[in-house]
Structure 1
Amino acid sequence: MQPKTKAITAAVTGSALGVAGLAWLAMPATAGEAPQLPPVSAEELVQSVLTTKTPALNGTVDVENNLGLPVSSLPDGTSLDIDGARVLGDGAGNSKLSVEQGANERTVVRNGNTVWSYDSSDNTATKLTVPAEALQQQSGEFEVSDPATAATQLLAKVRESSTVTVEGTARVAGRAAYEMVLTPKPTERTLLREVRVAVDAEQRVPLRLAVMTYGTADPAFQVAFSDIAFAPQPASEFQFTPPQGAKVTEEQAPAQTPDREAAKDALTTTGDGWDTVVTGTFPAESLQPQQDGRGESVDPQALLAQFGKPVSGAFGTGYVITTKVVTALVTDDGRFAAGAVPEQVLIDALGAK
């Protein structure tokens, strides 16, 4: 069965300030003869990616999602069935993301210290104003991600626990690129075999991110620009005016984020690099029957039983949900652990009840 190919973009992140995001998922490389490029060492390529600032750009992204996630049944009504996307940036922090889902469109625009998000499905818009101090402290939380940002952040996180090589060249979105491969070191306990990053030979910006697992030559997921232009973008692209009749909500982000420490306490990471595991606790009400965004009744416990495998151990009882790249364990008392790791790593991370 061929995996469904869709287009998707990424996200304004920033959970501490309540800015929702989408995650980049992927596409196959653009076909074409491999270009002839000057040799480059792995370390030189890594350093150039980590130190290069993404320039102004305008691009689209196509998605090949082969994760096997039950996206049609997410409890909050969210769907990853995305039909088209466009991302723009001015190279100075302003950005725009437009995502099509059927007849609906979601748009996120950042202009200076203002972030607009709009959903055409219910004609609602949110204007978030972020004080300058918060932008200086947490600038990354207000960026719109793209394949370049996603790959750079991943590279920074796993490079120390990886063997990095350069394996030939490729063409992605019509541009010449180096193929960089990150392989987990033998000490890493992970489901992933390798991550491949296609780096633009001229701009040194990642154009494609592909995640590979064991037992198959096909990526579990990839993310790439299907077309891209590195060029100045009109300032008008980063201006947003809510459509006629839209319900507008205005929010002010705090200059300081006092709940950041609380968030750190609520979410804990164990391990580093490839075998990082995130653990935490769901609010008690989140596991109770509720209505989703479409007004339909959803029972999270029933969904866990449907898609998960019952497990028990020192941590208590619960369910494990496994995809090609991620394993998640949710206990009956509301604790959870998740990572790109085998089930036993999650059990070890949860410890005793």
Structure 2
Amino acid sequence: MNRTLLRWTVPAAAAVAVVAAATIPTLASADSPELPDRTPEELAAAVVEAEPVPMSGSAVYTARLGLPEIPAQMTGGADPLNLLSGSSTIRMWTDAEGRSRVSLLGTTSEYSVVTDGPEAWTYASSSHQVVHLTLGPDAQEHLADAEAEHAAAEAAGTLPTPQDLAQQLLERAEEHADVTVGDAVVVAGRAAYQVVVTPTDDGTLVDRVVVAVDGETLVPLSVQVWSTEATNAPALELAYTDVSFSAPSDAALTFSTPSGAEVTEKVVELGDLDAAPEHTGDVPDGVTVSGEGFATVVERSGVDLEALLTGDPAAVADELDHPLGGGPGEELFGDMGGGTELDRAALYEQLTTPVDGGRLLSSTLLSVLVTDDGRILVGAVPGETLLEAAGLA
């Protein structure tokens, strides 16, 4: 991704975190630092206008979702499944120019993703496996053309201005929530603005989302997602414990294959990119949406649960209309999970409870209902709401 796209997409993503329900938290000092006063509109516009900056740091992710404890044999040391409960440490480096490294650290292992322009690598130390992804020539040319079109639109002034985008984001957020700027806080030793997004619908499990934005660079440093079911601590939080805005070393951003690691080469072709569905706003066939805002319930019918639980890449890609189904994405699905063997059926039984007509996963922020007649309902709402929506209450 070139500098032009980064200047728009990275700050825009940060602005979404400021004005909507993102998932990132705060480890803040009780003292309120001094920062210039800003309204939500002013802060959102400043975030969108901000240039991407090089940075590195450590963050702690903690989940208190109230889920049943997952047996140790179901996960690996640095397995993404560990993000469902407890705390995990994440290390991140980026040069803000298309090179980055993110590592999920376990007690004795790590799972890392390294990107460098059109190339990416994943490494699971527990299985000593590397996956190297590259874009084929046609795919690279296609993305270069898209970047050129974007740059031309920006130069011609046909793209929305940062102020326009910020206003649109705020208006969208304020349809279903109150957005305010609270007292400044300290995160990882840095003064930060604190933005609070409070849903106005009492039918959701989300009580509020609190985002801390660095007062100087305007980079989001932390997010807390609070639940109506638990008031003593956030249900989800991810916060930097240390951060530096100096350029990372070249060594930190360069992937070197560990000695003896098994390497799998994957090439993403243009056809795989073209297979990705366009976001037209239309609801796909077999999907119905009810409710609004944070209380939205999405229902998918005609689901082959057996295919999902077996984890067969082709079956899952087809079942979920995976945009890369039939291409390299089909193989990639099989590599997910840090190289650990996962008994999906056992995990399903562990996380869900039987109800009349199906099984229900209930947490402090999200509920999932799987019905015996092949429907899946998902929402940030109580389980009873899903049962009523499914006609099982």
- TM-score interval for Structure 1 and Structure 2 normalised by the shorter chain: 0.7 to 0.9
* Residue of structure 1 aligned with 2:27, choices 26, 29, 38: 29
- Give the conservation status (yes or no) of the 8 Å contact 1:169–1:178: yes
Q: In 1, Cα distance between the equivalents of 2:145 and 2:295?
A: 30
**What does 1:71-86 correspond to in 2, within 5 Å?**
72-73=70-71, 77=75, 78=79, 79-80=81-82, 83-86=88-91
Amino acid at match of 1:309: T
**Does the C-alpha gap of structure 1 residues 288 and 205 become closer, same or farther in structure 2, counting only changes over 3 Å?**
closer
**Does the C-alpha gap of structure 1 residues 208 and 240 become closer, same or farther in structure 2, counting only changes over 3 Å?**
same
Q: Percent identity?
A: 31
Q: In 2, Cα distance between the equivalents of 1:247 and 1:226?
A: 33
* The structure with more strand, counted as a fraction of residues: 1
Deviation for aligned residue 1:111:
0.1
Q: In 1, Cα distance between the equivalents of 2:35 and 2:259?
A: 51
- Using structure 1 for the length normalisation, give the TM-score: 0.74
Residue of structure 2 in register with 1:346 after alignment: 386
Q: In 2, Cα distance between the equivalents of 1:175 and 1:211?
A: 21
Show CA shifts across 1:235-265 (max 9, x none).
Answer: 3322212112111111112324354349984
Which protein, 1 or 2, shows the higher relative CO under an 8 Å CA cutoff with sep ≥ 6? Answer: 2
Q: In 2, Cα distance between the equivalents of 1:162 and 1:53?
A: 28
Amino acid at match of 1:249: T
1:89 aligns with 2:109: no
Tell me the matched-pair count: 306
- Give the conservation status (yes or no) of the 8 Å contact 1:57–1:232: yes
**Does the C-alpha gap of structure 1 residues 179 and 137 become closer, same or farther in structure 2, counting only changes over 3 Å?**
same
* Residue of structure 1 aligned with 2:38, choices 22, 40, 43: 40
Q: In 2, Cα distance between the equivalents of 1:274 and 1:74?
A: 33
1:311 aligns with 2:365: no
Residue of structure 2 in register with 1:183 after alignment: 198
- SS of 2:217's equivalent in the other structure is coil
- Give the conservation status (yes or no) of the 8 Å contact 1:60–1:87: yes
- SS of 2:45's equivalent in the other structure is helix
Residue of structure 2 in register with 1:285 after alignment: 307
1:109 aligns with 2:114: yes
- Using structure 2 for the length normalisation, give the TM-score: 0.67
**Does the C-alpha gap of structure 1 residues 27 and 282 become closer, same or farther in structure 2, counting only changes over 3 Å?**
farther
- Give the conservation status (yes or no) of the 8 Å contact 1:49–1:206: no
Q: In 1, Cα distance between the equivalents of 2:293 and 2:48?
A: 16
Show CA shifts across 1:24-80 (max 9, x none).
Answer: 976651335210222111211122234434311011001332112346259974431
| Structure 1 residues without counterparts, runs of 5 or longer | 1-23, 139-151
Amino acid at match of 2:101: K
Structure having the higher Rg: 2
Q: In 2, Cα distance between the equivalents of 1:48 and 1:262?
A: 29
Residue of structure 1 in register with 2:224 after alignment: 210
**Does the C-alpha gap of structure 1 residues 100 and 164 become closer, same or farther in structure 2, counting only changes over 3 Å?**
same
Residue of structure 2 in register with 1:237 after alignment: 252
**Does the C-alpha gap of structure 1 residues 27 and 162 become closer, same or farther in structure 2, counting only changes over 3 Å?**
closer
1:124 aligns with 2:129: yes
Show CA shifts across 1:205-225 (max 9, x none).
Answer: 111100111251421121111
**What does 1:160-309 correspond to in 2, within 5 Å?**
160-186=175-201, 189-214=203-228, 215-256=230-271, 257-261=273-277, 265=284, 268=287, 270=289, 273-280=293-300, 281-282=303-304, 284-287=306-309, 298=343, 300=345, 303-309=347-353
Amino acid at match of 1:118: Y
Q: In 2, Cα distance between the equivalents of 1:92 and 1:324?
A: 38
| Structure 2 residues without counterparts, runs of 5 or longer | 1-21, 148-165, 313-336
Deviation for aligned residue 1:339:
2.1
Q: In 2, Cα distance between the equivalents of 1:261 and 1:54?
A: 28
Q: In 1, Cα distance between the equivalents of 2:188 and 2:73?
A: 35
Q: Which moved more, 1:321-330 or 1:234-243?
A: 234-243
**Does the C-alpha gap of structure 1 residues 178 and 269 become closer, same or farther in structure 2, counting only changes over 3 Å?**
farther
